[in-house]
Structure formats: C-alpha cells, structure tokens
Amino acid sequence: MNNIQAQDKNSQFCVLNETQEKEPLKVIKNNYRNNINSDYTEKIEELDKAFKYSSNSNYYWSAPELSLLYGTPLYEAASPSQKIALNHLYWVSQYNFTALAETETIHYNQITGGCFSAMGGDYETIARQLEHESVQERSHIHAFYKVNYQTMKALLGKQAFIKPLKNKLEQPSWVSSQLPTYQYNTLRFLSKMMLKGKEQYYSQYLKKFEEEDKLSKLSNGFFHGRGFIPQSLLRFFALNWGSSPFLSSQYYTLRYMGNMLLKNIEYSIYAYFKKLQKQGEFVPVPTAISHYHLLDEAFHTTTSLFLARDVYKLLPKPTAYEKIVVNLAIYLIQTNNFNGLSGVVNKRCFKDDRSLMADIFKLLQSPLFGMSTQEALHWMEKCFCHEHEGYHLSAKSYQRLLSELRRFGDNLDYLWPINREMRVMASGGSIDQAIKNNIKTFKDFSSSVAHA
Ligand SMILES: [Fe+2]
Ligand SMILES: [Fe+2]
C-alpha cells in the first residue's frame, strides 16, 4: 500500500506537453459552449407544455419495431389499436427508465463536479458543464413524466398506478437494502486509507451530502431501469466517485455505457422523426421530445466520452486500488445491465425477469387486453418461452451494442480483460440461453401467481 501511495504522490497532473494536455479539455470547453448556445432543452420544455395524450393517441410514436411485445405471437394477434397502445407503452417504459437514470445522474454530476472544481484551472469548465447538464436533465425528466403519466392513465386507467401483485413478485432478486452501517464504515475507512494523499480533491458536494446523511438515502441507482450497482454497495461507490481525479473521470466510463444504451433506442426514434418530417406528416409530441433529447444528450455523451477516454490520461496514474474500484463497477454493470436478451422488449440488454413478467401480466389483465389470469399466462408462455422474431431482433441490436462497447473498451488500458472485451455481456447473447432462462423464470412466476 505504501508503494501505491508513494507512486501517487510522485505523479503530477501535467505529464504531457502543453498541446497534448489541452486537447481533450479544449473539446470539453467547445462542447460546453455549443451546449449553452443550443436550444434543444427549450424545445423540449415547449413540447412538454403542449402535450395532450388525446392529440397524439392515434399515431405511432416510433417505428412499430419499438413496441412492447413486437415480434411475438401476441403482437401478431393484437388489433390495430392495441398495436398503437403497445407502441406508446414501449416509449413510456423506456423513458420511465431514462427519467430514473437521469435523476441518478444529477447526483453523480454534482459529486464528481465537486472533484473537478477542486482540481481548478481548466478543469473548472468540466464542473460547469456538469452543472448545466443537471439543469437540462431536470427539464427532460419533467417532460418524460408528463407524457408517461397521461399515457398510462389513458391506456391503463388508474390501476396502472396500483401494484396488483405482492412486491415480492416484482422485485429483482439482487435489489437489497444498504449494507449495515458498520460494514459500510469499514469500507469507507478502507477507501479513505487507499486514497490517502488525495484529500484536496475530495468533492465538497460529497462532503455536504455525507454531513447531511444523504448518502445513506441514495435511492437504488437506476441505470436505464436497473441499479447499475446493487443498492448495498451504492454508498461505497458514490463515496469513491467524488474522492479522486481518476475515479471522478472514470465514473464517466459507466455513464458513457448508459449513454450508449439509450442512444441505441433513441436514434431509431430520431430517424423516425426525420422520416415523418421529410414526408410532411404529423409528428407526435413524444417523437419530437425523443428527437430533441437525442440532440441534447449528444452533448452529454461527448462529456462522458472525453472524460472517460481522454481526460484520465492527463491525470496522475491510477493506483491499484482505483483500478479495482472502476473495474469492479464495470463488472457489476455487465452482470446487472448487459447480461442477456429480452424476448418481449426490443433493444433491452438484460434478461427478462420476474419484474418484467409482472408488468406484462398486469398489462394483459388491464382493460386494454382484458384477459383472465389463465389467458394472460397462456400468452405469456407463448411469448417468453418459444423462439420468435422478437428474440432475433433483440439479438441483432445486442450484438451491435456489444461491438460498440468493445471498441470503446479498447481505449481504456487499465481495464481487466473481462471488462475490455465485455465478456459477461458477450456470454448473454444467445437466443437459446435466453429462452432457457425464461422458461425457468416463467415457471417460478406462474407458480407465484397461483399462490398470490
Ligand atoms: Fe436527458
Ligand atoms: Fe444526459
């Protein structure tokens, strides 16, 4: 450990010559300026104000492939109005995840921003960009919730907001409560010891957050729908992201993975917007929100990419401890968020689970489909447990995202091979395996329903 500390103390910020050093920071400054000068957030705010579900209800909001259950036998049997509803519900489900992820992002922008501020000089610009991004996220989140609330109410009625099944049926198994305080304190002590000599970079926001005891109240970090890190370790990672320049910059490796996951979906809606516009057709408000959101998020993705891929090379070399923290986080992201194919939600990159099955069950029993328990389970078995087009579509987009993330990983020399090559994600790309997993999960789910 002494060697690690000594190595860190001997490292300097400016290890590169002036031109090399400034390049990524210049890009971040330009990105910040372009972001300030853009009006995409304002466009989203206008769309948010104007949105009324009734004026958008008869139109597809994206290509039919982006509909819940697309490619399944149930989709084939659905009526035209049910198909439109499934298209709207896909949008709702994705942007519900996005809103949760962006709520989380606001905290981490501030936690890491505090560290960049402490570094001073040109690094201050990064903190300002992150603050600006947080303001934009608040407008995005508001718009998503407005559309989602009205859409859910119109399509599923008030029961959409009531949980019909016991929580036990819906909760993914890895969601658990925080570590007991004494265990967290041990990890905290370990972090502090391993990060000795970096106290001057400790995020002031993080300090305040700790003093107000808010760290323990961090909600399960949603990373496009799921906590990217199990709840029990959330405080530990939050503490680390704001504690050293390297860890602050490498939080953005995780964020970049999240950015790519959303882009994987949103770019298709962006293309749909362009097609409608070109043909002079009506553009539904949610389609336009996605279009401007993609443009706004392009600034955020640039921030993530440059911080993750380039800025860390300007910083003191990471210690063994810092490398372990980031690698562990990426490994956990793979196991929780990039771990398999879905048969019923196109472009979702994690396995179908009981939580999703509970949502589909609720949907099939809603007035939209009006199925009995037996009918709902019968259709679910057909959709989850047998090969169909939906699985093939999912497999294609899964492989595309896998290649993109591997390309990105090639730039990060400190990654463990399992992370650089995204081996956990790669091992989850088989359709046969996804069906096998779903047969087992569905069996558990249907027996839970029988005993509920
Ligand atoms: Fe956003
Ligand atoms: Fe963002």
- For residue 221, the model assigns a pLDDT of 40
Ligand 2 centre distance from Cα of residue 98 (Å): 9
Ligand 2 center to 330 CA (angstroms): 19
Cα 102 to ligand 1 centre (Å): 6
Region label for 212, one of left (φ > 0), alpha (ψ between -120 and 50) or beta (otherwise): alpha
Q: Which residues contact 193 (CB under 8 A, 6 or more apart)?
A: 1
Residue length, the chain?
Answer: 452
Taking the C-alpha atoms of residue 219 and residue 234, their distance in angstroms, rounded to an integer, is 9
Q: How far is the CA of 265 from the centre of ligand 2 (A)?
A: 14
pTM attached to this predicted model? 0.88
Instruction: Give the ligand whose atoms come closest to the C-alpha of residue 298.
Output: 2
Question: Which ligand sits nearest to residue 97's alpha carbon?
Answer: 1
CA of 294 to the centre of ligand 2 (A): 9
Listed residues: CB within 5 A of ion ligand 1: 102, 137, 140
Q: How close is the Cα of 291 to the center of ligand 2, in Å?
A: 14
- Listed as ranges, residues in the chain with pLDDT below 70 are 1-21, 160-180, 182, 215-232
CA of 61 to the centre of ligand 1 (A): 18
Q: Tell me how far the alpha carbon of residue 312 lies from the centroid of ligand 1, in angstroms.
A: 24
Asked if residues 31 and 23 have their Cβ atoms less than 8 Å apart, the reply is no
Sequence-distant (≥ 6) Cβ neighbours of residue 269 within 8 angstroms: 61, 62, 66, 91, 287, 290, 291, 294
**Ligand 1 center to residue 144 CA distance, Å?**
9
Is residue 73 within 8 Å of residue 170, measured between CB atoms?
no
Residue 235's pLDDT is 80
- How many angstroms does the Cα of residue 356 sit away from the middle of ligand 2? 25
- Please, what's the largest Cα pairwise distance for the chain? 70
Burial of residue 349 (CB within 10 Å: 0-12, 13-18, 19+) is buried
Ligand 2 geometric centre to CA of 81 (Å) = 33
Helices (H) and strands (E) in the chain, counts: 20, 2
Distance in angstroms (rounded) separating the CA atoms of residues 216 and 218: 6
Q: How far is the CA of 263 from the centre of ligand 1 (A)?
A: 11
Helix (H) or strand (E) holding 227, with range, is: strand 226-227
Ligand 1 centroid to Cα of residue 38, in Å, is: 14
CA of 41 to the centre of ligand 1 (A): 9
Position 226 scores a pLDDT of 55
Nearest Cα residue to 145 out of 182, 183, 102, 185: 102
CB 25 within 8 A of CB 32: no
Rounded CA-CA distance 184/180 in Å is 6
Is 249:315 a contact under the CB 8 Å cutoff? Answer: yes
State the distance from the centre of ligand 2 to the C-alpha of 102, rounded, in angstroms. Answer: 6
Task: Report the separation in Å between the CA atom of 300 and the middle of ligand 2, taken as the mean of its atom positions.
Answer: 5
Whole-angstrom distance, CA of residue 220 vs CA of residue 238: 12
Ligand 1 center to 394 CA (angstroms): 24
Q: Ligand 1: distance of its center to the CA of 283 in Å?
A: 20
